[in-house]
Structure 1
Amino acid sequence: MVLGGGGEPCSLCKQTVYPAELMTTGLGRFHFSCFRCTKCARQLQQSTYCQDAKTGRLYCKPHYSQLAVAAGIQAVADGGVDASAGVLVHRKTKTAEEMEVELALDEGALVWVELGMVPDAVSLLGADLADPFVACTVVGRSGEVFTVSSGGGEAEVPRPCVWLRDRSSSANNLRLQHLNEANLLGNVQRRFEARHIYTQTGALELLALNPYAPLCSYDEDQMERYRRARGAPVESAPDEAQQSEEPHIFGVAEEIWRAVSEAEAEGASAGTESRSVVVSGESGSGKTESNRQLLSYFRWRSTGGGDGAAAISRVLALSDVLLESFGNASTVNNHNSSRFGKYLAVDVASNALAGGSFSTYLLETTRLVRRATGERNFHGLYMLCAGAAKHKRAALRLRAAKEHFYTLVSSSDKQREAAAPPDAPTRIERRFDALEDALSQLRGVRAVSVWRALYAGLFSRLVAELNALLRPDGPANGGQYIGLLDIFGFESLETNSLEQLLINYANEALHHLFLRHVFRGFSDEALASVLGDASRIDNRCCVALIDAPPKGLLHILDHQCRAPQGSETAFCLSATQKHEEDPFFTVPKLSRDCSHDASSAFIVRHFAADVLYTSGGFLESNNDTLVGGSHWLRASTEPLVTELFEEDKAVAGTFSSVGGRFAANLKELMARLRSTQTHFVRCMKSNGGALPHTFDAPYVRHALRDRLPKLATPRGIGLTRAGCAPLAPRGLLQKRPAAALASRRRRRPRQGIRAEASLARVASETSRGSS
């Protein structure tokens, strides 16, 4: 789906955007972000809105009604113009779905009431204003005004505040009778409060809410339950297999294991039936734990292979601890945040683990020398200070972690100076560091570059050793495998640097992969008929903004790194000049709350949120060149150090782009994921404070609305339920028409001739297509 041609200005903010990003009203064309109520900032629908013909201001219908009553003006009729108020109310013809909802909104109907639109009703209904919706029952109706009861009181509310709700929760969002935002949130909340943290969204995605508390549903008894669960065969309908069991991460693992094992037993071509699991979500949402449970299930499910498979299983268990120790750190959002991405390919043969290999992405080595306030360095450094044997501590001159400058919890310089006594080792080390930097620069190499290169080399060596243990005979020769992707979640911090841009770029690429899986086979017209603003679903333009040559942000950054007089200011100004008309790119404006402008920062409009990136340190972070350092490191008396940098002889001193290398690796990863059958697990926080068993409805509502992919939104689910989701396996298409045809003939041999002919034709065509 390609956005329209030349740009057009928004009638309200005057910003030039693509035509596909504009909503057309009776009084102009408006950008989606501007199409909100002036009073409550609620996103308006093109099907109904109120607009002041004099000022151009937009209102939702309830707030316009309040303004009209306050001004003594009679409410405007749909489709009419009140000349005295100068307000135009536009209403499209109601769809069949809208008519069905209107008929269902009768006395006794179960509904949700959106409290943010009727704050006066909060006390009358005995509700909490912090809750976005309250469950009510319709007890009366007068036109577009409903009398609702919550059990704690009654109130009159206008029609736009009322949403139909289901009587009970559902383990699958697609099986909800009423598809709306309130009902989706209510369904997830009711299941969470019943200790069901998993909810299925169709056959493609499992939604997992982090409870921030240990659960008793990950033992071997639970694994056995899902192994024995009676479900339909792999080639049958995905929804049928879900009916006998609650959604669970083990259910996803069992489906994958069974499919790969059966394909391997049937002699399928190498890799054709391999599966990948993409576990995504923001930092702290539980991605690492979900991957750990998947791997734990596969290790338990491996029943053949003898001592070799047992050895592979032990190495996989050990690798989990090692890679977390040297690649994870405590951040402001997560005490065990993965500061690198990894893809584990596990070979499966004869119903057993037969090998594996790790691929890693973008280890955040800048954390060694620079961290945000309140964050820590990699876990392994603190473990070394706390747990090293006595003779090791003496040999390495180790002290307590708090006495080493680079293992201190990061804080501002003033806070650190105030907290430290005059003779503190911190002050001595800071002076020693300054001397060391000066001496290293005289030798033509920066100390921080050496430290980063050493740590990255050691980490790569660790991964290589694990891969050698997992595949002692070298790379796998064909066969099926299961891929597990554990990659950093979307980040929007107080200060966002190049690391956050690359992390969010990876999340954009994964989001695009998900959308391609959900909506593959649909034409733009089919998407538009259900989603309306279908062009906004496809985020390929945001991905291209970052990586497409020659104008992508990463390419502009590389050019500045190579230029003799390159600078962060020149990078920002060049990016602004090349992307000033790009709807996914904008620049901040100087204000009391923002000290940045186009020369020092820029904003990327990601699928999850708009993120402000400050360019300070971009060039340093992107330059992985070790000028002069390779020579000194190869001359080291430590054999391991010499080995780590022996490979760099040919490229020593040449520019090495961190962003360019990451983009190339990411494209390889996407190609690998596209070559497998992909499953998705979407992790979400249940609250923003990491509180155990606490469901913060406004927080989760924001995540469902802005961060969860479009499939789990009402309109996305509506598309999937519209009858055109091409997600059923071919075997199902072959069997069901034939079975339905036989059943119809048994029941009514003389009727339904036309339907029988259609079923026979479908069965014939699908059988022919599979041969």
Structure 2
Amino acid sequence: MLQQVNGQSSGSDAHGRESLREDLQAFLGGEAPLHQLDDLTKVNPVTLETVLRCLQARYTADTFYTRAGCTLVALNPFKPIPQLYSPEVMQEYHTAPQPQKLKPHIFTVGEQTYRNVKSLIEPVNQSIVVSGESGAGKTWTSRCLMKFYAVVAASPTSWESHKIAERIEQRILNSNPVMEAFGNACTLRNNNSSRFGKFIQLQLNRAQQMTGAAVQTYLLEKTRVACQASSERNFHIFYQICKGASADERLQWHLAEGAAFSWLPNPERTLEEDCFEVTREAMLHLGIDAPTQNNIFQALAGLLHLGNTRFADSGNEAQPCPLMDDAKCSVRTAASLLRLPEDPLLETLRIRTIRAGRRQQVFRKPCSRAECDTRRDCLAKLVYARLFDWLVSVINSSICADPDSWTTFIGLLDVYGFESFPTNSLEQLCINYANEKLQQHFVAHYLRAQQEEYTAEGLEWSTVSYQDNQTCLDLIEGSPVSICSLINEECRLNRPSSAAQLQTRIESALAGSPCLGHNKLSREPSFIVVHYAGSVRYHTAGLVEKNKDPIPPELTRLLQQSQDPLLKVLFPADPEEKSQEEPSGQSRAPVLTVVSKFKASLEQLLQVLHSTTPHYIRCIKPNSQGRAQMFHQEEVLSQLEACGLVETIHISAAGFPIRVSHRNFVERYELLRRLCPGAAPSPHGPPPDEGRSEWSPGSEQATLQALLQDILHTLPALARAPAEATLAPVHCGRTKVFMTDSALELLERGRAQVLEQCARCIQGGWRRHRGRKKERQRRAAVLIQAAVRSWLTRKHIQRLHAAATVIKRAWQEWRVSTDLRSQGGQ
């Protein structure tokens, strides 16, 4: 049995012997200490125990990131380490020629996905799937990756473009605090737990500059607004407005200091997420002005006062339930803050409207105390869910780029982690169902698909066994009978059924599934599902009602009467709504349940993921207490087993993550034949571009084989060390070429070398051409100058001749006149 370690000396003798054994093994075997192994594929032998010891040694040495083949393992340090995520570190990984040679980091994965988008080899959209238990650090990892891309993918040259990119970058980063304030909460296992799933598309243009982003959310846990488990809290934003608002604002929103609210448990706990000014500043940058913010916070304050509205039992079933004495002020304040008329608000909460008969006659029936509480909670959940969806739409309109301005994207998936609480209901079932689907995506894409592709391509491969969770998914979503189908059927039948009856039906219909269990000692109706990450007991009480998620139409009509500008946007008046509110008899539309909607959105997400090249970050939670320097081996071991990390390491160590089609390989690397002096021109060389589409498979295969042999001869010359070439195998499959990262690095190095030689030849030819051209220009200039000088000389001589003629003629005339005067005097 593994010993549980909490960071202190526990059993000094045993610890000393273990350390001595490790040192002796490292000395005799010549191996590096465990904390220096950056890649778990280098652990020898690869077992759960050795992987666990390596991770623990690195965690003790404050090294929290480790490669596991295609996956990055991230241990949550549970303490701030700002120097690990500084802009200088981002630039270091971004500008590094080979970032994979640096220490493992989430920025390594970020830079790899960014370079893959830029790659000229079959560029394709990229995605990063961040998975792990609740509290393992998924939200923090996604936040740091967004900051990384905002820095490295927003660097245009012109000043105007730089200001635009800077504004986009700021808006994308500002979406984080807003969504975390309205969508995150403190749970038993995580102080900043995401209570919704989100997939962020970072949109890039052809120059790989980030032009915008788009956010898609999944299954907000809106029930948390009105119901919080013991020792848990409501969404962060409620605590922020109570703690961070000014005195005038608290007076305006009727939030007296120290006031008690039923829906605001554990207000004494101070968390770093309670940062109201950061949220307001971020909302302002996203285009939500101060008046709109005031309307939002006023509505949230109204929900808090609505939660203090309590009802008493009515002595007469024909009369509505009276308010508790201390609740009269609360309902008045709630109506004022929501800008609703007080009497219709009370009437809607206490009286149910029933439509019956062919003529749809309206009957009014007073609600019981429990029904009043349910309608009050439903009203709060409805307002908050609409507000959250509106915020997401505002964020998207602020950061989303025009469809024509981007060509590729990098997706970041931050989904809720696996959850198991003392009481688990529909929310936990959906969350764990999503985790099962993501685990299946990882298994299908990497573990199973890679091995099947190696076999189909004819590569020599020893099959690695792995844990498949298809049986559990068949139990949850399978056809024709599954947990989801049974719950949905209960909703469609719309018949009264107890929690015990639902439990009995699930157990009898799915008794043959090995992933279904039952705790006979439990007094409450429940069933157990054996997930890949562990067994979870789900309580059947309330499952059907939560799946229906009924919204009484009179609640919507009431909110449409609000004079608040924000609520008018959230609940616009619909003239056609009345005719569609209560369809009767056989005209009733099929019920669209929570499970059905969630399943559809999940399938759509998986289609997007399947269309991208995925990268995986496995976040591991070292301990359940959330304390630094504490490593619980048993808890970490269960997480390693659940995610199939050892199988991943085995396949990654022997696998070929880079695969290129024959045609693209020939087109990109045929120029490497220049590095092989003995290589003769291929008789099957590629024809001109216009004929490439007419290649026959035989000629292409022959060209590839000849080219591949020549390239393999060039690898030793490209390698900086003799061993580098042997560690960089290239294999030719039936339709693709398979290689490791090191082989791709060598090929790209050789290609860059050839291109550099070609560039030098082109530059030399261009310089010779320029020299000859300048020489011709110089000679032409000399000839032109000589001609001009000759012409100028001739013109000058002509002018001299003309002047001499004039002078001579004048002199002759003067002599004649002088002679005539002298003769006349005689």
Aligned residue in 1 for 2:537: 612
- Which amino acid is the alignment partner of residue 86 of structure 2? D
* Residues 171, 399 of structure 2: 8 Å contact kept: yes
Structure with greater contact order relative to length (CA < 8 Å, sep ≥ 6): 2
Matched, 1:632 2:558: yes
Judged with a 3 Å threshold, the aligned counterparts in structure 2 of structure 1 residues 399 and 615 are, in CA distance, closer, same or farther, namely: farther
Judged with a 3 Å threshold, the aligned counterparts in structure 2 of structure 1 residues 337 and 253 are, in CA distance, closer, same or farther, namely: same
Aligned residue in 2 for 1:678: 614
What displacement does 1:353 show? 1.4
Matched, 1:277 2:134: no
Aligned residue in 2 for 1:447: 376
Aligned residue in 2 for 1:497: 425
Matched, 1:358 2:215: yes
* Residues 656, 738 of structure 2: 8 Å contact kept: no
* Superposition pairs of residues 503-518 of structure 1, within 5 angstroms: 503-518=431-446
* Residues 401, 408 of structure 1: 8 Å contact kept: no
What displacement does 1:192 show? 1.7
Of 556, 560, 577, the residue aligned with 2:508 is 577
* Superposition pairs of residues 713-732 of structure 1, within 5 angstroms: 713=646, 715-721=647-653, 723-725=654-656, 728-729=659-660
* Residues 604, 610 of structure 1: 8 Å contact kept: yes
What displacement does 1:393 show? 2.7
Judged with a 3 Å threshold, the aligned counterparts in structure 2 of structure 1 residues 427 and 293 are, in CA distance, closer, same or farther, namely: closer
Say what the alpha-carbon RMSD is for the aligned residues.
3.9
Aligned residue in 2 for 1:557: 487
Matched, 1:183 2:50: yes
- The CA deviation string for residues 571-593 of structure 1, in whole angstroms up to 9 with x for no partner, is 22221122100111122213xxx
What displacement does 1:225 show? 1.1
CA distance in 1, matches of 2:94, 2:308: 60
CA distance in 1, matches of 2:401, 2:650: 49
CA distance in 2, matches of 1:761, 1:700: 37
- The CA deviation string for residues 625-656 of structure 1, in whole angstroms up to 9 with x for no partner, is 21222222223223432332338765645644
Task: Give me the TM-score of the superposition, normalised by structure 2.
Answer: 0.63
Of 63, 75, 80, the residue aligned with 1:209 is 75
Give unmatched runs, 5+ long, in structure 2: 5-9, 269-304, 312-322, 332-345, 354-371, 583-588, 670-706, 719-728, 740-826
- The CA deviation string for residues 472-526 of structure 1, in whole angstroms up to 9 with x for no partner, is 64x5666101111111100011111110000000000010111112221424998
* Residues 405, 429 of structure 1: 8 Å contact kept: no
* Residues 737, 763 of structure 1: 8 Å contact kept: no
Task: Give me the TM-score of the superposition, normalised by structure 1.
Answer: 0.67
**Structure 1 residue matching 2:451: 3-state secondary structure:** coil
- Which amino acid is the alignment partner of residue 513 of structure 2? D
Judged with a 3 Å threshold, the aligned counterparts in structure 2 of structure 1 residues 696 and 481 are, in CA distance, closer, same or farther, namely: same
Judged with a 3 Å threshold, the aligned counterparts in structure 2 of structure 1 residues 541 and 698 are, in CA distance, closer, same or farther, namely: closer
Judged with a 3 Å threshold, the aligned counterparts in structure 2 of structure 1 residues 556 and 744 are, in CA distance, closer, same or farther, namely: closer
**Structure 1 residue matching 2:73: 3-state secondary structure:** strand
* Superposition pairs of residues 66-215 of structure 1, within 5 angstroms: 126-127=13-14, 134-135=18-19, 137=21, 167-168=33-34, 169-202=36-69, 204-215=70-81
Judged with a 3 Å threshold, the aligned counterparts in structure 2 of structure 1 residues 408 and 164 are, in CA distance, closer, same or farther, namely: farther
- The CA deviation string for residues 159-211 of structure 1, in whole angstroms up to 9 with x for no partner, is xxxx9997544101112232122211121122222221000011x21100001
* Residues 213, 401 of structure 2: 8 Å contact kept: no
* Superposition pairs of residues 413-492 of structure 1, within 5 angstroms: 429-431=309-311, 432=323, 440-444=349-353, 446-471=375-400, 473=402, 475=403, 479-492=407-420
Matched, 1:546 2:476: yes
CA distance in 1, matches of 2:79, 2:263: 32
What displacement does 1:386 show? 1.9
Aligned residue in 2 for 1:408: 265
Judged with a 3 Å threshold, the aligned counterparts in structure 2 of structure 1 residues 677 and 136 are, in CA distance, closer, same or farther, namely: same
What displacement does 1:440 show? 1.1
* Residues 417, 431 of structure 2: 8 Å contact kept: yes
Judged with a 3 Å threshold, the aligned counterparts in structure 2 of structure 1 residues 766 and 689 are, in CA distance, closer, same or farther, namely: closer
CA distance in 2, matches of 1:640, 1:548: 42
Q: Percent identity?
A: 29
Judged with a 3 Å threshold, the aligned counterparts in structure 2 of structure 1 residues 575 and 402 are, in CA distance, closer, same or farther, namely: farther
**Structure 2 residue matching 1:405: 3-state secondary structure:** coil
CA distance in 2, matches of 1:685, 1:461: 33
- Greater mean alpha carbon deviation, residues 559-568 or residues 488-497: 559-568
Structure with higher Rg: it is 2
Give unmatched runs, 5+ long, in structure 1: 1-41, 43-113, 117-121, 140-147, 152-162, 232-240, 412-424, 748-758
* Residues 44, 50 of structure 2: 8 Å contact kept: no
CA distance in 2, matches of 1:585, 1:225: 50
What displacement does 1:354 show? 0.6
Judged with a 3 Å threshold, the aligned counterparts in structure 2 of structure 1 residues 760 and 366 are, in CA distance, closer, same or farther, namely: closer
What displacement does 1:311 show? 1.5
Judged with a 3 Å threshold, the aligned counterparts in structure 2 of structure 1 residues 692 and 589 are, in CA distance, closer, same or farther, namely: same
- Greater mean alpha carbon deviation, residues 386-395 or residues 336-345: 386-395
- The CA deviation string for residues 131-177 of structure 1, in whole angstroms up to 9 with x for no partner, is 9x9355499xxxxxxxx9999xxxxxxxxxxx999754410111223
CA distance in 1, matches of 2:434, 2:603: 10
Matched, 1:741 2:741: no
CA distance in 1, matches of 2:267, 2:629: 30
Judged with a 3 Å threshold, the aligned counterparts in structure 2 of structure 1 residues 645 and 115 are, in CA distance, closer, same or farther, namely: closer
Aligned residue in 1 for 2:625: 689
CA distance in 2, matches of 1:761, 1:171: 26
* Residues 733, 763 of structure 1: 8 Å contact kept: no
Aligned residue in 2 for 1:86: none
* Residues 164, 183 of structure 1: 8 Å contact kept: no
